[in-house]
Structure 1
């Protein structure tokens, strides 16, 4: 007679061994809470009892079996079980988990995991975790920015352009008089360090780190930033959408910068005549922007 694959699988030794193991593990769903006893039976209450009834039952039993009241050695063991049962049933979360374990004894691993998570899981305040995470991320961010900045400064100081600026600054500070032995080829290390501190280096992509740009500081200032942005948007809408006023110089610069998709530092480094010329083109108008792009393409091809 042919045996179906399903029956063959169910009657296989590995499956039968697993079933026996699972049956042996069924009592564990209770034992992890109150050993082999029932937490409700230990307190002499029913599963439908409320928190007040459970509390009264515990106080009554504690007066009877507390080691200070009852010297019997067995009472000490019983009192420990009663106290453990009360700790489980007085908390709504653990009581709910215990009731679930009673109703679903087959879910051994799930019930065990919930128990150990409730009793041995981390009790850290999420707010403390968030603050710690922001501090760590901010510290790493600042360290990364400072490393990039120092590396960029070191590379810039090796360029001829930087050395020429340093020599020009030395001539300016000394009134045009230099040491004839050293000339302009060599500069004292102390003087070089002093003069280099006077030179402001604006390195695109590796700006000097600032505490105000850190993630932690920005997160703390987020409500202020959002409020300021909302007020700015409201004023913009009222001034230019409702009242139809002409754009101010700063706002026109902002629109031009946004249309060209350049950073604030790059925009500030543009000379005033070029900046004024770009603003006058009114690039925030779609047609003007298209004409400007076409003009730049023609000029680029002409240079080639």
Structure 2
């Protein structure tokens, strides 16, 4: 008799609790089903109608509709649950995780992970973050190059050789005038120093780390042209392999210079700044062959060591050239 009564009591309680099995108070809509909160049949879910349903319920349970404090507090609680249900079901990924939560309540730890992963994960499109980062890096590169070039110009204006060359060019163009004493005339409305500076900027050839700023030297530009650059490189590599590996043709001058630059470990821009005498020497010594280049490099290093030992000034000059590059007038001999 006692056992039968216990079974009847258990059967009376279980149906009321079945829907709450697996629900956690701190996840999604708490102990309620988010579909039931919005009065939606899960099997007939229609996202296009979700916003209309939400607005209707939100309006009905909005706290501002109630004046009594206890009803207002109750409405606030209900309003938050409705908003949570809407936020959960309107997002495709969140709704998929919630459906899994409903269908697999026993996987408690996984459901917790999915819930907090979606809450903590950034909502910003990763692609926008990447593009923004590239643009910021490129802007910094451009502004830094602009600042360094300005420093190079300021330095050049203090060097007598460049200043005198700019003054002579300004006089030839009629932009500057000299008096009987050979000094620049001061003319109202004209800044002689500004004219000289403009001529220096126009004619100065600055290379290395202090060259003039350009968008073509930025990270963003290299990212844009990367597909084209890659295709060109693969095309060049294929031709090189066909000509000099399969057909075993003799290296032409362009190929020889490429191998020399590769052995030197410098960029194309740096290689192009070598004098004709240096390039001719490298070709005469057949430095496109590894063994010849090693010998030439050893001799060059020994020569450099001797110069460094003889002159501390030369050492400072080489360090400056490595970091800055060169500064010269375009037409300077």
Give the TM-score band, short-chain normalised.
Answer: 0.5 to 0.7
Distance 2:86 2:44 in 1: 7
**Cα distance in 1 for residues equivalent to 2:257 and 2:83:** 73
Shift in Å, 1:198: 3.2
Distance verdict in 2 for CA 1:154–1:87, change over 3 Å = closer
Q: Distance in 1 between matches of 2:133 and 2:24?
A: 37
Aligned equivalent of 2:221:
217
Deviations 1:223-278 (A, max 9, x none): 11111110011111112222222323333222222222334333323332332221
**Is the aligned partner of 1:293 residue 2:284?**
no
Q: Unpaired runs of 5+ in structure 1?
A: 1-26
Q: Tell me the number of residue pairs that the alignment of Structure 1 and Structure 2 aligns.
A: 256
| Inter-partner Cα distance in structure 1 for 2:111 and 2:96 | 21
Residues 1:55 and 2:50 aligned together: no
Q: Distance in 1 between matches of 2:266 and 2:206?
A: 15
1:113 aligns with 2:108: no
Q: Do structure 1's residue 36 and structure 2's residue 31 form an aligned pair?
A: yes
1:103 aligns with 2:106: yes
Matched, 1:151 2:146: no
User: After the TM superposition, which residues 1-304 of structure 1 pair with which residues of structure 2 at under 5 Å, given as runs?
Assistant: 29-39=24-34, 53-55=43-45, 88=88, 91-97=95-101, 102-103=105-106, 110=113, 113-114=116-117, 116-117=119-120, 122-167=122-167, 169-170=169-170, 179-183=179-183, 188-300=192-304, 304=310
* Alignment TM-score, normalising by the size of structure 2: 0.60
Distance 1:197 1:44, change over 3 A: closer
TM-score by length of 1: 0.65
> C-alpha deviations, 1:33-68, integer Å up to 9, x for none?
2233244776999xxx9x6x2539xx9xx99xx87x
Rate the CA distance shift 1:79–1:296 in 2: closer, same or farther, 3 A: closer
Q: C-alpha root-mean-square deviation of aligned residues, in Å?
A: 4.5
Q: Secondary structure at the match of 2:210?
A: coil
1:28, distance to aligned residue in structure 2 (A): 8.3
Matches of 1:116 and 1:299, distance apart in 2: 65
**Cα–Cα, structure 1 residues 125 and 245, in superposed 2: closer, same or farther, change >3 Å?**
same
Q: How far apart are the structure 1 equivalents of 2:198 and 2:78?
A: 80
The structure whose RCO (Cα within 8 Å, separation 6+) is larger is 2
Q: 1:285 Cα deviation (Å)?
A: 1.4
C-alpha change, 1:160 and 1:128, in structure 2 (3 Å) is same
